[in-house]
């Protein structure tokens, strides 16, 4: 029997037109993602890490059909580029996303209950009473009182809004959830509340998660597998504990060395080692250039 991963991404590339020079008629092409491949299994949390601009969010946008791409993206054996808009819409409930900005992802004109119920109204044949009951259940599952459903997004804190976004994402019982820097805009105490909800979701054996982050500590805590992106390319992949403890690629090593640690003595030592390594690399590059 042939094994079919939940997501099978092969040789994905995404290019954008760059700013055109006044001395050129043609705008240069910017390769945001180049020949990226990865697989997501059922019950797995896969981390996509890298610095800002490395192509993490662009790759996710391609997976969600929010930008054009070349290559193959298969969801549960279905080639997403080979189906029409109607078929893609039918698959939407099975792939959901939690965005970075919890306020921008919620309609300011709808109550919290209406925001959560909207996907059910579009994709499920439920009565209003059934939707209201489901909304109350979802709010409780993310640690909020059912009465919050009557509030407006502006009435909630950032952490509460992000938990609402998670409740909306799981309303249709998806098979894949994408967390795109879902906690980066929150303060530390609020992050802990949201991360507790995400951790509970990770216990579901049928749910696959893509966890996009630049925080290596979070990747180590939540992810089974990690891929590291640099300048649009995947440069390293493997079990999170292995990659984030004994990285083999120099870029991953630099990321780990630059990540802050709570011990100031250790942090100063690591910072010094990183500066020395970067200086040595710059000298080596200069010598290679002069010799050629």
- Residue 111, number of CB atoms within 10 A of its CB: 18
State residue 207's pLDDT score: 87
Report, as ranges of residue numbers, the positions in the chain whose pLDDT lies below 70: 1-2, 18-27, 185, 205, 260-283, 285, 288-289, 291-292
Distances (CA, A) of 132 to 113, 123, 140, 150, 208: 7, 15, 12, 11, 27
Q: Which fold has domain 7-18+29-259?
A: Rossmann fold (3.40.50)
State residue 268's pLDDT score: 65
How do residues 272-285 score in pLDDT, each as one tens digit?
666 666 566 666 76
State residue 100's pLDDT score: 82
State residue 188's pLDDT score: 73
Report the side by side order of strands in the sheet with 7-17: 29-40, 7-17, 70-75, 78-79
Instruction: Compute the distance between CA of residue 211 and CA of residue 64 in angstroms, rounded to an integer.
Output: 14
């Amino acid at each position: 029997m042939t094994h079919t991963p939940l997501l099978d991404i092969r040789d994905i590339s995404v290019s954008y037109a760059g700013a055109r020079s006044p001395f050129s008629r043609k705008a240069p092409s910017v390769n945001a993602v180049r020949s990226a491949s990865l697989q997501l299994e059922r019950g797995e949390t896969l981390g996509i890490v890298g610095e800002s601009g490395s192509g993490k969010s662009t790759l996710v946008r391609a997976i969600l059909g929010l930008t054009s791409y070349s290559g193959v993206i298969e969801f549960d054996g279905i080639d997403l580029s080979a189906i029409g808009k109607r078929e893609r819409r039918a698959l939407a409930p099975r792939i959901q996303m939690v965005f970075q900005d919890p306020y921008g992802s919620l309609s300011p004109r709808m109550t919290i209950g209406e925001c959560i119920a909207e996907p059910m109204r579009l994709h499920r044949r439920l009565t209003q009473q059934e939707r209201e009951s489901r909304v109350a259940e979802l709010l409780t599952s993310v640690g909020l009182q059912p009465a919050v459903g009557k509030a407006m997004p502006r009435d909630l804190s950032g952490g509460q809004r992000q938990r609402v976004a998670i409740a909306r994402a799981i309303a249709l019982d998806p098979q894949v959830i994408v967390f795109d820097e879902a906690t980066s805009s929150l303060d530390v105490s609020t992050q802990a509340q949201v991360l507790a909800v995400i951790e509970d979701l990770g216990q579901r054996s049928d749910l696959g998660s893509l966890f996009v982050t630049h925080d290596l500590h979070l990747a180590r805590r939540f992810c089974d597998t990690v891929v590291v992106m640099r300048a649009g390319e995947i440069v390293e992949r493997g079990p999170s504990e292995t990659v984030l403890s004994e990285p083999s690629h120099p870029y991953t090593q630099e990321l780990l060395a630059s990540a802050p640690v709570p011990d100031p003595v250790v942090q100063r030592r690591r910072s010094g080692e990183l500066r020395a390594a970067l200086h040595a690399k710059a000298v080596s590059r200069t010598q290679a250039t002069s010799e050629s």
